[in-house]
Amino acid sequence: MSKKEGAVKDWLSNADMLTAALPYMQKYNGSIIVIKYGGNAMADNDLIESFCNDIVFLKQSGLKPVIVHGGGPQIGSMLERLGIKTKFESGMRITDESTLEVVEMVLAGKINKDIASKINSAGGKAVGVSGKDGSMLIAEKLTKQKSLNESNIEKIIDLGFVGIPKKINNEIIETLISNDFIPIIAPLGISDDGKTYNINADTAAGAIASSLKSKRLLILTDVKGVLDSNQNLIEEVNEEKIEKMIESGEISGGMIPKINTCLKSVKEGVGGAAIVDGRVKHAVLLELFTDHGAGTLIR
């Protein structure tokens, strides 16, 4: 096969992929897609470039992407550089005033603007904001309870300035979308009395997706998706199956809050939610524009 013939074969293959994706592009045309972006996908330069190009491709294909990003590893690195000790409780960072200053600086400053800048460089029109801007994300303090030993006595754990969404004001997001911008949202919230709260990015993305009644919520993570007892990917689950898998221990640890966030958003009007392997190049496109997807779909 000549070089030219090989090139033609590649072009035809690419054309076949595009035409195969056409029904999905038509399905999602004009739809809001909320994507939680974090984990290893934010730490690898090739994956960052791939993600930003994919977001621009979604926009060019008629979709309306909204990005909510995390930044746990970057926050941890900055705290270490500044000599600020950090503690975790039940997988959540205890956030005092000095920690909160770093969290806000890293999330709403460096990470948020870096993502927006890279999407703009890829040909998109992205605007970075935090949940505090325009009181977009109204938050309240998160309280956690922990059982003491095997007794029924529970202790209230103070996580500091860690919050949960109370209300989403869609005005800023909808204004950006209607003016052809891609919103990039840092998961910080503001309380009714003006306090700043650090909010888990999965939780924030779920609340925003529910408020916008988005067509899809995609949570990019560092695993393939929901796995069965043999570590095989489960392509689709419903509430009944989720409950059984949590009870049996097949779903455990950090996957439980992720899948509960997805389930809650679907119950509140999101068309479907998926836990997607963010370590895979073009995972967002594979999930939206192919039959097989790239993770676990929760209906």
Confidence at residue 8, expressed as pLDDT on a 0 to 100 scale: 47
**230, two tokens:** 């043999």
Q: What are phi and psi of 126, to 5 degrees?
A: -105, 145
Residue 10, pLDDT above cutoff 80: no
Q: Comparing 291 with 84, which gets the higher pLDDT?
A: 84
Task: Check if the beta carbon of residue 236 is closer than 8 Å to that of residue 262.
Answer: no
Q: b/e for 69-83, b at 16 or more Cβ within 10 A? A: bbbbebbeebbeeee
| pTM (2 d.p.) | 0.89
Q: Which residues are bridge partners to 163 per DSSP?
A: 141, 199
Farthest CA pair distance, the chain:
76
Give the CA angle between residues 212, 216, 217 to the nearest 5°.
Answer: 85
Residue 9, pLDDT above cutoff 70: no
Domains and CATH numbers, the chain: 30-298 (3.40.1160.10)
Is the Cα torsion angle 282, 283, 287, 292 positive or negative in sign?
positive
